[in-house]
Amino acid sequence: MREISYSEAIRESMSQMMREDEDIYILGEDIGVYGGAFGVTSGMIDEFGPERVRITPISEAAISGCAVGSAMTGMRPILEIQFSDFVVIAMDNIVNQAAKMRYMFGGKAKVPMVVRLPSGSGAGFAAQHSQSLEAWMTHIPGLKVVQPSNAYDAKGLLAAAIKDDNPVMFYEHKMLYNVKSEVPEELYEIPLGVADIKREGKDVTIIATGLMVNKALEAAENLEAEGIDVEVIDPRTLVPLDEKTILESVKKTGRVLVVYEAVKRNGFGSEIVSLIAESDAFDYLDAPILRLGGAEAPIPYNPELEKAAIPQVHDIYQKCLELLNR
């Protein structure tokens, strides 16, 4: 199978879906000739034209309002927020409008829109352009939240998100855009709410999200040399969450490490810990559940400090050893 990058997979998914359905269009800042801040939409305006690749003013409030309104009247917009941090300017339209409409109109109104959100640190964009804020959106009933960790998942999950009749927040880690993996040429969907076991093991379960999935897999390879068999679970979608897969893995290994890039306090990993603590899987634990998250500080501009602010492979490695020593 051919290999393409994470950004190419996202572009291919959008393009293939747009060829099938004329109601799908994309909108955002500089997404035309420039191809967006990270080049994800490069070339799409040449195929679909300015009516379906809508270049907008620099106003996240205006862009999100347009997306919500057009979604309610039958279109399927894909909105690109240039950096996920800027979603704060669109919060009223997303949180108080898009997320609530279907409920408030008794199911007679739908808001089928996707909000693409380049997120995370590692690219040297500093405190206002590098945050991981996905946990905010998981707190809002009516929103679905997706966080793919590789190109294959990104293509399939995005296709499913575009077809969904609810607003979907689609988090794309900036450091994954150039990472390649095997991806089929044909269009396919990965259902929302289905986790993936990226690596099977019997000694420790690592539940990781986004870029941390890749770091967890690398740490697991290093631990294998020590005779430690690590299972790595990627939820892929945070809302809806595949609780069954997570709990079955916990029962199998008896030791759990939850890894996420966002600030450790109140990050989505805390919800996973609560899920386990409130289930019968808790009785299978042989050690306390550990969390590994980002530092309680804005993301620094300095490259070495930026690395220190979020979990790295060696941190995951050490936490797994700590779990086993308990």
Catalytic-role residue among 129, 139, 173, 314: 129
Active site residue 139: no
Q: What CA–CA distance (Å, rounded) separates 103 from 297?
A: 37
The H-assigned helical ranges of 192-242 are 211-224
DSSP string, 51-97: HHEEE--S-HHHHHHHHHHHHHTT-EEEEEPSSGGGGGGGHIIIIII
Compute CA 188 distance to the chain's CA centroid, rounded to the nearest angstrom.
18
Q: What CA–CA distance (Å, rounded) separates 226 from 30?
A: 49
Q: What is the chain's percent helix, strand, coil content, to nearest 5? A: 40, 20, 40
Across-strand partners of 5? 180
Q: What CA–CA distance (Å, rounded) separates 145 from 98?
A: 13
Q: What CA–CA distance (Å, rounded) separates 239 from 195?
A: 11
Compute CA 216 distance to the chain's CA centroid, rounded to the nearest angstrom.
16
User: Which pair of tokens denotes residue 210?
Assistant: 């986004």
Kindly calculate the radius of gyration of the chain based on its CA atoms and give it in whole angstroms. Answer: 20
Q: What is the largest CA-CA distance in the chain?
A: 60
Active-site residue set:
129
